[in-house]
Structures are given as structure tokens and as C-alpha cells.
Homo-oligomer: A and B are copies of this chain.
Amino acid sequence: MSEFELIARYFAPLARSAPGAYGLLDDAAVISPSSGSELVAKTDTIVAGIDFPPDTAPDLIARKALRVNLSDLAAKGARPRAYLLDLVLPPATDEAWFAAFAAGLAADQNEYGVTLIGGDMSSTSGPVVVAVTALGEAPVGRIIRRGGARAGDLVFVTGTIGDASLGLRALQGKFPALDAESTGFLLERYQLPRPRVSLGPQLIGIATASIDVSDGLIADLRHLCSVCGLDATIAAHSVPLSDAARTLIDGHAETLAAALTGGDDYELLFTAPQAAFDRLSELARATDVPITRIGQLAAPTDPERPRMLVLDAQRRPLDFASGGWAHF
């Protein structure tokens, strides 16, 4: 089956609801923000053997590639609209792979209200690479930046932290004693992130700064502090954990470190003034997304080097050798 037949059969149907995608039969797509909005653009790539195990089911690869981008849009308060897809595959990739991959995209388009508007396919002698560029929109000038926090703002995180990195370890056979249900839960958290697409736009006007947790809670909070020029103090015992993660971490400091520094959570890490606490509680109830206060920002002790303090239950500082995932 040729590239053009593959596009016609598996990808053109995904572009049907976007008139500006021209059925993927033209050289480019057109898109405009709604009145009063601007477009928000983000690109993120996943690579087999680095971001997912090479034997991952194609539908999960597709969904992860899309979702990691939607997570960034959510962190900015942007509503997702469209995406472009670059697919780099071994030439022997069979039609069943494309069918499953496209089915994964179709499921997520339905779930998140987003539409394929363009793409490219290439062959490679190396691992599968999937690059997605997602386009969302937000009211003009209102996206939630990384750098808008003020001293005294509280630090919040959605959902639970560490499940994905523990899921990867479970996949590697590191927790043989863990029950099947917990193992399955952690695995799914690693394979299928749940970007906070509905909550994100509702944080506009409440959150002062925001980032999604992809490199790891500690590393991403450090990114935020660094752009804000503020110190942060986090209470490790207040970081929300799933039951499965809590079981694994109980009494294992190294596993706690893995949870707090491991990546792939795709939760939102954001700051808001104390006065916003009640509104956030209401929002958590209304959206059914847990929002947990985990710490607070302060004026920097050294403006050149924003400091991050992670305290244990006895308020002793914890030290994390690894600050988060780095490619290079």
C-alpha cells in the first residue's frame, strides 16, 4: 500500500471535520483563531526506546504522542483544536500498524475535540519517531505563563504524582511483589497520560504560573522557579500519591525520590495566591480533578540561583541526586 493510499485510508478520515485541512489532499492547511483568541502552538516528539518501549501497541504510541502535546496546551490554559503529525517509520511497517495507530488517534480526537490537519510520513533505518505539533487557542494575552508567580503564592498539583515513572519501573519488572491491579494501574498511567485538557482553560484568571509535569515534579518546579526568580518550599508528604504508589513508596526513600523526580506525569503544576484557595477547591469538585497544595513560593534568598527545598514530614530537607530526565 502506497503512502498516498495509507493517507487516504487511515489519515484523511481523521481530518474530515476540519474544512481547512482539505482532506489532506493539499500542500498545507489553513487555520484561524476564533474571534478574541490567539493560537497556541506546541511541538513534542516521542521516540521508540526512549519515550516508549519499542513493542508498545501502535494505538498507545499514537495517543501518547498526541496527549503529551495536549498536556502542554492545558498547562497554558489553551483549548486544543488541531494537530500536525510527522511519522517516521521502518519501511516494513505493515498496514495493521497504521490501522491501529489511526484508531488510537480517532479515539483521542473524539475524547479531546481535536482534529488532524496535516502531516508527513518518512521511512527510517532507526526507531519509530512520532512528532506532533498541536495548535490550541486561548483568549488573547491570557495564556498562563511559566513566569507569572509572585512570592507567597501557593504551589498546586493536579492528580497524583509518580505513577508513570513507577509504571515504567513495573514494566521493567522491578516490582514483582506488587498486586496485578496496582501494576495495571501504574502501567496505564505510564502508557496513557491523561492531559488536564478540561481543567487547564478554567485556570486562566486563577493560576499565576503553570507548567505540565513531564520532566518530573522536582525538575519542572525548578523550571518554574527559575523563570519566576523565586524560591520554593515543598512538603514531600503532601505530594499526592495514588494508593499503588503509596504502597511502593512506604518506607522506601529511593522509591519516593523516583516518584518525585521521574517524568511523564502530565499533571499540571501551577501557582495561585492564597486567596484563590476556595475557588480551586470548587473547581476541583466541579471538574472531578484532584488539586493539592504541595508548597509555597518565596522571595529568592539569592536572585541568581532560585532555591528549591523539599522537606520530609519532620521538615528535614531531602536531597535528590537526579533532578529529572535529560536527553543530552
Interface residues of A, Cβ cutoff 8 Å to B: 1-4, 6, 20, 22, 25-33, 38-47, 49-51, 72-73, 75-76, 78, 82, 84-86, 88, 91, 93, 117-127, 129, 131, 133, 135-136, 138, 140, 143, 145-147, 211-212, 227, 326-328
Tell me whether A45 and B120 are in contact (CB under 8 A): yes
The answer, among B22, B43, B211, for a CB contact under 8 Å with A133, is B43
Closest to A20 in B: B38
Contact flag A122-B47 (CB < 8 Å), given A76-B27, A328-B91 = yes
The answer, among B49, B140, B147, for a CB contact under 8 Å with A25, is B147
Report how far A66 CA is from B50 CA in the complex, Å. 26
How many copies of this protein are present in the complex? 2
Q: Which residues of B contact A28 (CB under 8 A)?
A: 40-42, 72-73, 75-76, 78, 136, 143
Shortest CB-to-CB span from A158 to chain B, Å, is 15
Q: Which residues of B contact A73 (CB under 8 A)?
A: 28
Report how far A142 CA is from B20 CA in the complex, Å. 12
Tell me whether A2 and B123 are in contact (CB under 8 A): no
Tell me whether A42 and B30 are in contact (CB under 8 A): no
Contact flag A123-B328 (CB < 8 Å), given A43-B118, A133-B43 = yes
Q: Which residues of B contact A117 (CB under 8 A)?
A: 41
Report how far A72 CA is from B30 CA in the complex, Å. 13
Contact flag A43-B85 (CB < 8 Å), given A22-B145, A28-B76, A28-B78 = yes
Tell me whether B42 and A327 are in contact (CB under 8 A): no
Tell me whether A6 and B124 are in contact (CB under 8 A): no
Q: Which residues of B contact A38 (CB under 8 A)?
A: 20, 30-32
Tell me whether B118 and A42 are in contact (CB under 8 A): yes
Contact flag A27-B75 (CB < 8 Å), given A41-B135, A86-B43 = yes
Shortest CB-to-CB span from A313 to chain B, Å, is 32
The answer, among B126, B131, B147, for a CB contact under 8 Å with A126, is B126
Q: Which residues of B contact A27 (CB under 8 A)?
A: 42, 72, 75-76, 146, 211-212
15 other contacts beyond A47-B88, A91-B327, A121-B327, with CB at 8 A cut-off? Answer: A3-B326, A26-B145, A27-B211, A28-B72, A28-B143, A30-B41, A41-B117, A41-B133, A41-B135, A43-B84, A44-B86, A45-B120, A45-B122, A88-B88, A126-B126
Shortest CB-to-CB span from A146 to chain B, Å, is 5
Tell me whether B328 and A3 are in contact (CB under 8 A): yes
